[in-house]
Structure 1
Amino acid sequence: MSNEYSIEQIIKSPHAAVLCLAATEKGQFLASGGSDGVFLWNTKTGKQLKRPGGGGFRGDTTAMTWIHSEDNADEVLIYGTLRGYIICWKQIKNTNDFEELYCLHIGSATEITALDFDPPSRRLALSTRNGTIQVHKVDTQMKLHGHVSVIIQNCDPRAIYFLPNGESRNMIVFGCCSGKIYLLRGNDGTMIETYDAGGIIGHATVNTAKDVFGIDDPSEGIALYRVVDGAKVKTLPVKTTKTPRPRQVAFTQDSKIVVSGSDHGIIYVFERRDGSVSKLTTEGTAWVQTVTTASVNGISTIIAASSRDVGTDSSRIYIWKNKSQHLSDTDMVKDDELTWSSYKNWVIIGLLITLFLLNSTDFEELYCLHIGSTTEITALDFDPPSRRLVLSTRNGTIQVHKVDTQMKLHGHISVIIQNCDPRAIYFLPNGESRNMIVFGCRSGKIYLLRGNDGTMIETYDAGGIIGHATVNTAKDVFGLDDPSEGIALYHVVDRAKVKTLPVKTTKTPRPRQVAFTQDSKIAVSGSDHGIIYVFERRDGSVSKLTTEGTAWVQTVTTASVNGISTIIAASSRDVGTDSSRIYIWKNKSQHLSDTDMVKDDELTWSSYKNWAAIVRYFTVFTGLHLGVN
């Protein structure tokens, strides 16, 4: 099961009580905050790192977040304290040591309760106990520049997050004692909407890409809601044995798993969809209501800590890792079986729409529809919250269909973009409208369409042919294949180009497929010479996966197979043989060792000469979305 975890480390911390935890994006560093300030830890060894200073006059550490930029690999920690101070620590280049850059008082002696950082806009949001909400712009030297400051009366904010809604970057604030959820406009802090959760909110966690947020209801458990309309989905029950107090909650494994602390020494680990639960035990029955999650070398990791002073001279920090990702291959799907039974979903394949219902490993065809054009279908994407399917054709037709519970399609929108030749299309999580982003191949343009009627909102010129594209709105990044150069990375929010990851060309440039994996930390590209390029997105370092020769392997996708990052590539030009090859690599650090990638058995379908049909079929099977090119 995906929620099977084993204890990896138990760290003896100098804190009497740990109030907050935060891990870096790659999971190598952990910060713990509470009494006596902040302590830093190496998650792999459990060893304490040197810290620039203690708590002192600043008070207990109450909130923290790690921040980073695409062009700087050094980690930066910003944390807030009980007495209203903001402190910034920065990693010293090429070391595991940190230095303090500044300590600022934000103009209030009130506790800082929450922090969030938005990398694309380089904005930091903070909240204080008295309801103050501030937004600061963070420059390249990590200095803060005040941007917005408002007060929400009678709020007592417990969590704050940015939402990916364009340049405004609206914010969602969760009030503790008020039990209300506030939506604020990002550019000026104006209140847009208020929702009543019906009770105390102890904590909250948000994943806009999956259209879900979870709030801690101290009396009941984790209440799950949709982001798009604020509708409550379900409550995952967490037992209480003492007077109810706020518990921290977190998502992991791309929000498939929801984690909560407790008042009795148990960490609750839920499968979000079916509500099944595993319980992780600590050393006793004390408060362990401080939790966070991380991806350490790609392995889902849960971290929890003692959250009440129990009269000892130290607290404990517990680190669990997902067993199915690094201990055994017995729980993994065999590569040559194609049995992704956890996906009770549907797939769409080929140049005509052919729809199947997945039931174990058997399929039945429900229907085959002609969409009114003999032109090739070039891309597909499905949006689960709105149950909409979008498709594009070679002549620039964009169609949106609503999918009913019987999997039948109901035409919703049909528009044509002239001279587009779309190569990829994706929904954007912008509320009920669900706008779409379309990538034109020969036009070299990026089109933003309104989701409810297909109206063109904006057009951007990428400056050259777009061979393919991949998008992760939660990380505010999309990657374009520039056939002459490599993978061009952009921000979603403002379409600003970040960098190009170079891919060698040895023949006439042709489109290559690109994909993200490991929560978009890794970018993958095919090539024209038998090499799959695997880039670290932040620092641009590259690993090269080899195939059997120097042929075209420009067809790629990625998957998470039982939580293990998997790269899949295939022969993408007819080389005159009776079969093509599909190659599957898995991340070795997730189940074998800490070095790069391992190549699994090859798969050959000698009965199929049309590589495109097979790869499209396989891509949908293994992809995390229904975008097929």
Structure 2
Amino acid sequence: MSFFARWIRAKSNQRYKLLTRLTAPSGSVHALAISNDGQLLACGGTEGVKLWDINSQKELACSSHHHESQGTVSCAAWTLTRPTAAETLCYGAGLGYVSNLPLTAGQKRFQEICTRRLGSGFEITCLSWDSTSSEANTRITVGTRDKIVQVLLLNANSQLQSVFAVRLDNTVPKSVAFAENRDIYVFGLYDGNFITLEGTDGTVVREFSCQSVIGHAAVSLKRGLFVVDNATDGFTMYHLENEGEEPVRTFTTAVPSMSVPKQVAFGEEGKVIAGGSDNGLVYIFDRKAGELLEALHHADGGLVQTIAVSGNR
């Protein structure tokens, strides 16, 4: 039995309050994603994909039932397909599949239209979309377990077309993100490398080590920052561009009892940092001051590896 909680900003001494708990029938949760309009929640894991309307807390109809053949859902992101700006869920799976679930016009139903297996079928470790582009086609970047970063185009018919793919020397991509100029930021799981790739052909533009493994990474283009789960004492923040390679600060948590990846995110338009734990808590830090604002109680103990935020630009 898997469950996850939703918190909202509170108008009291507590910064957040628990709004609801949603329960998935079985299996573990590996990916959470909130739609761009903040209305929909996607949950992915060992039992495939499930979708909820956040306001009504009702589960939505979804045609994706291929998790047994495609593998565990490992990552997910909501894109806006043009020209209608319709919400489309794009997700990756353990056997190398990328799938798209666009919202059926006039209905709260998602119909899987396009599924594509990339390369040799290694796990899709991460994916992201270019939210700054105004083109008719949506650019998506995908990282796979065999050290490949690929850029795809999602067209208006929800079909995927390859732009380019590049194999990294030593880096297994754990997180990816687009820069404002279409370059691609890549964050390495084991070597802790932060790499910038040229957006047209994947040429390495910049590379340095964050001096730790990277359990997960999040980017704030608005603030010019990124933050990583350092898998030791918390979450470490860096500048994205041309400000040196030293950390801005580390948001320190309780010493973990085990070294496992925990997701991290910018929230409240980049004002706070939110991150998971191995003790049942979600930590909320003030980005500027570095102080712990609140520790949200998700469970009495255990791993909180998967989080999602709304309004994080």
| 1:213 match: secondary structure | strand
Q: Which amino acid aligns with 2:120?
A: S
| 2:79 match: secondary structure | strand
* Pairing of 1:155-304 with structure 2 (within 5 A): 155-165=171-181, 169-229=182-242, 230-277=245-292, 278-295=294-311
When residues 70 and 101 of structure 1 are mapped into structure 2, their CA distance, relative to the original with a 3 A threshold, is closer
Q: CA deviation at 1:42?
A: 1.2
1:131 paired to 2:147:
yes
Partner Cα distance (1:95, 1:256) in 2? 35
| Contact 1:63 1:114 survives alignment (8 Å) | yes
1:450 aligns with: none
2:125 aligns with: 113
| Contact 1:240 1:263 survives alignment (8 Å) | no
Partner Cα distance (2:281, 2:71) in 1? 29
Q: Which amino acid aligns with 2:272?
A: I
1:154 to 170, 175, 178: 170
Partner Cα distance (2:309, 2:273) in 1? 10
2:55 aligns with: 44
Q: CA deviation at 1:215?
A: 0.6
2:90 aligns with: 78
Partner Cα distance (1:271, 1:107) in 2? 41
Partner Cα distance (2:255, 2:46) in 1? 25
Q: Which amino acid aligns with 2:174?
A: R
* Pairing of 1:25-104 with structure 2 (within 5 A): 25-54=36-65, 55-69=67-81, 71-104=83-116
| 1:56 match: secondary structure | helix
Partner Cα distance (1:214, 1:282) in 2? 22
User: Structure 1 runs of 4+ off > 3 angstroms?
Assistant: none
Q: CA deviation at 1:62?
A: 0.3
Scaled by the length of structure 1, the TM-score of the pair is 0.46
Partner Cα distance (1:206, 1:102) in 2? 28
Partner Cα distance (1:245, 1:261) in 2? 10
Q: CA deviation at 1:70?
A: 5.4
* Pairing of 1:344-493 with structure 2 (within 5 A): none
Higher deviation after alignment, 199-208 or 223-232: 223-232
Q: CA deviation at 1:48?
A: 1.4
1:454 aligns with: none
1:19 aligns with: 30
Q: Which amino acid aligns with 1:240?
A: V
Partner Cα distance (2:69, 2:257) in 1? 32
Partner Cα distance (1:39, 1:138) in 2? 22
2:6 aligns with: none
Q: Which amino acid aligns with 1:124?
A: I
Q: CA deviation at 1:143?
A: 1.1
| Contact 1:248 1:261 survives alignment (8 Å) | yes
Partner Cα distance (2:69, 2:155) in 1? 27
| Contact 2:95 2:122 survives alignment (8 Å) | yes
Partner Cα distance (1:219, 1:231) in 2? 17
Partner Cα distance (1:35, 1:124) in 2? 23
Instruction: Please give the per-residue CA displacement for 1:508-537, whole angstroms capped at 9, x wherever unaligned.
Output: xxxxxxxxxxx6xxxxxxxxxxxxxxxxxx
Partner Cα distance (2:255, 2:25) in 1? 27
Partner Cα distance (2:62, 2:167) in 1? 34
| 2:69 match: secondary structure | helix
RMSD: 1.6
Instruction: Please give the per-residue CA displacement for 1:445-473, whole angstroms capped at 9, x wherever unaligned.
Output: xxxxxxxxxxxxxxxxxxxxxxxxxxxxx
Partner Cα distance (2:163, 2:84) in 1? 24
Q: CA deviation at 1:243?
A: 1.3
Q: CA deviation at 1:282?
A: 1.6
Partner Cα distance (1:79, 1:69) in 2? 15
Greater radius of gyration (CA): 1
Q: Which amino acid aligns with 1:95?
A: Q
Partner Cα distance (2:280, 2:251) in 1? 18
Q: Which amino acid aligns with 1:79?
A: Y
| 2:309 match: secondary structure | strand
Pairs aligned (count)? 294
Partner Cα distance (2:297, 2:265) in 1? 17
Q: CA deviation at 1:226?
A: 1.0
Partner Cα distance (1:125, 1:50) in 2? 27
Q: CA deviation at 1:74?
A: 2.4
Q: CA deviation at 1:242?
A: 1.8
Scaled by the length of structure 2, the TM-score of the pair is 0.90
Unpaired segments ≥5 residues, structure 1: 301-518, 520-629
| Contact 2:46 2:71 survives alignment (8 Å) | yes
Q: CA deviation at 1:283?
A: 2.9
Partner Cα distance (2:255, 2:27) in 1? 23
| Contact 2:214 2:261 survives alignment (8 Å) | yes
Partner Cα distance (2:234, 2:303) in 1? 15
2:5 aligns with: none
| 1:291 match: secondary structure | coil
Instruction: Please give the per-residue CA displacement for 1:168-189, whole angstroms capped at 9, x wherever unaligned.
Output: x111100010111111101000
Instruction: Please give the per-residue CA displacement for 1:260-295, whole angstroms capped at 9, x wherever unaligned.
Output: 000010000001111221100023201111111014
Partner Cα distance (2:209, 2:273) in 1? 22
